[in-house]
């Protein structure tokens, strides 16, 4: 058997394994998505739980107090937004009517200008709506969708925090004793990376929410605070969320105001906020210890969305960050870790160096040769 045959057999097995893994992740999405979110939140809440344990509080009571504090903070945020949520619900019928009028005008304009029939436009809008519904449906689909948000995620967080010593002990025992140092290092780096990433992301989202709300209030957009917070949450999805966040207030301004001045103001304000976010907030606040390059981040977000919907978009970056930590600690996987990172090497093996430039020599007659006689 030649080395080429071995490579093809190995590549086939790896590809088959990836296909089976993705298929299992897709089929079990309703079960795995709440577990993944719960694990991230448990890692985020672990420092608070550890501090309560150091205060000699029993483990079960410490976990319950941790969950109570987290739910209280979440309840306060929802309470602050409740007034605008109720007002928005009351105005939904009038907004639907205004949106239908605008949609009819746009369809007539497209038919008269570009010759696109109303039926084709309607079919295109239906297909687009179905795609969006399918993307959102994968987030809260099935019987476990809403139930997991209300019950399963807190229960999973409680169990992860309660059985943390058992899980860590299993991870150390499943590998040989000579790899204990590497396992401890991977676990420590993973915990630090996820905590710093999520905490930084929450701080960044809070600042962006304030900036969005202030800009929308100055422009006179209805439900400015609600739209600003939703835009900040969407902005937590790298690269893709920022674009979606702009569409919501522009759509609200279109159905609630006359003219297009407000829409242009929203686009300009959000462009400035995105510039501040990408060049000031993210580099200084989202201080994750794992840096992923832009290409891998975009691909991870898109693949996560195709696999698990909006939830997959949120989970993709932490998941790839953990993979990079593991790849960097295993020698034969380090090239993959470098591929995920943002460090661009100055050179690479096999690079053809530019040929040295030969300076033209000046032609001179030697001094020892006499010039010919005339």
Instruction: Flag whether 53 is in a domain.
Output: yes
Q: Which residues contact 161 (CB under 8 A, 6 or more apart)?
A: 42, 45, 46, 49, 63, 66
* pLDDT surpassing 80 at residue 121: no
Instruction: Flag whether 133 is in a domain.
Output: no
Q: Which residues contact 327 (CB under 8 A, 6 or more apart)?
A: 333, 334, 336, 337, 340
Q: At what angle do helices 224-235 and 240-256 cross, to 10 degrees?
A: 160
* pLDDT surpassing 60 at residue 203: yes
pLDDT of residue 63: 94
Burial (CB count <10 Å: 0-12, 13-18, 19+), residue 245? buried
Separation in Å, CA 23 to CA 18, 32, 135, 150, 153: 8, 13, 17, 27, 23
Q: How confident is the model at residue 288 (pLDDT cuts 50, 70, 90)?
A: low
CA distance 204 to 213: 14
Number of domains the chain contains: 1
Average pLDDT for residues 105-114, to the nearest whole number? 76
What range defines the domain where residue 170 resides? 9-83+147-174
Give the pLDDT confidence of 78-104 residue by residue, as tens digits. 887 777 777 766 666 766 777 677 777
Torsion, Cα of 193, 42, 142, 242 (10° steps): -40
Instruction: Flag whether 179 is in a domain.
Output: no
CA distance 71 to 45: 12
Give the pLDDT confidence of 24-70 residue by residue, as tens digits. 988 988 888 889 989 989 988 999 999 999 998 999 999 999 999 99
* pLDDT surpassing 80 at residue 283: no
Q: What is the mean pLDDT of the chain?
A: 78
Instruction: Flag whether 164 is in a domain.
Output: yes
CA distance 5 to 238: 40
Instruction: Flag whether 152 is in a domain.
Output: yes
pLDDT of residue 104: 77
Instruction: Flag whether 27 is in a domain.
Output: yes
pLDDT of residue 330: 78
Tell me the three state secondary structure of residue 115. coil
Separation in Å, CA 289 to CA 299, 318, 320, 341, 342: 20, 11, 13, 11, 12
Residue whose C-alpha is closest to residue 287's, from 358, 206, 198, 215: 198
pLDDT of residue 201: 82
Q: How confident is the model at residue 239 (pLDDT cuts 50, 70, 90)?
A: low
* pLDDT surpassing 80 at residue 169: yes
Q: When comparing pLDDT for 172 and 366, which is higher?
A: 172
pLDDT of residue 145: 54
List the single range of 145-149, 161-165, 296-300, 308-312 with lowest mean pLDDT.
145-149
* pLDDT surpassing 60 at residue 373: no
Give the pLDDT confidence of 204-235 residue by residue, as tens digits. 889 999 999 999 999 888 888 888 988 888 88
Instruction: Flag whether 26 is in a domain.
Output: yes
* pLDDT surpassing 80 at residue 159: yes
pTM over cut 0.85? no
Instruction: Flag whether 72 is in a domain.
Output: yes
């Amino acid at each position: 058997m030649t080395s080429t045959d071995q490579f093809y057999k190995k590549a086939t097995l790896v590809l088959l394994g990836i296909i089976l893994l993705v298929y299992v992740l897709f089929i079990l999405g309703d079960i795995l998505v709440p577990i993944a979110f719960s694990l991230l939140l448990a890692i985020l809440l672990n420092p608070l739980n550890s501090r309560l344990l150091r205060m000699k509080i029993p483990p079960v009571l410490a976990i319950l107090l941790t969950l109570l504090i987290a739910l209280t903070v979440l309840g306060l945020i929802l309470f602050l937004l409740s007034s605008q949520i109720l007002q928005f619900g009351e105005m939904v019928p009038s907004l639907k009517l205004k949106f239908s009028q605008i949609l009819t005008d746009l369809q007539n304009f497209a038919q008269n200008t570009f010759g696109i029939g109303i039926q084709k436009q309607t079919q295109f809008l239906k297909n687009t709506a179905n795609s969006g519904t399918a993307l959102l449906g994968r987030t809260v689909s099935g019987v476990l969708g809403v139930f997991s948000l209300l019950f399963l995620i807190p229960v999973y967080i409680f169990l992860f925090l309660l059985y943390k010593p058992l899980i860590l002990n299993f991870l150390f025992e499943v590998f040989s004793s000579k790899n204990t140092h590497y396992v401890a290092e991977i676990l420590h780096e993973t915990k630090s990376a996820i905590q710093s990433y999520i905490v930084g992301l929450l701080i960044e989202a809070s600042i962006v929410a304030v900036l969005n709300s202030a800009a929308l209030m100055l422009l006179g957009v209805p439900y400015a605070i609600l739209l600003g917070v939703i835009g900040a949450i969407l902005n937590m999805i790298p690269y893709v969320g920022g674009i979606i966040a702009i569409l919501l207030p522009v759509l609200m301004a279109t159905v609630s105001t006359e003219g297009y001045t407000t829409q242009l103001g929203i686009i300009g304000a959000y462009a400035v906020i995105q510039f501040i976010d990408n060049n000031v907030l993210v580099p200084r606040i989202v201080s994750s210890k794992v840096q992923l390059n832009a290409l891998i981040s975009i691909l991870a977000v898109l693949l996560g969305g195709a696999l698990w919907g909006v939830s997959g978009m949120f989970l993709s970056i932490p998941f790839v960050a953990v993979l990079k930590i593991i790849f960097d600690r295993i020698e034969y996987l380090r090239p993959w870790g470098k591929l995920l990172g943002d460090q661009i090497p100055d050179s690479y093996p096999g690079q053809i160096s530019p040929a040295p430039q030969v300076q033209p020599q000046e032609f001179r007659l030697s001094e020892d040769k006499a010039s010919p006689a005339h």
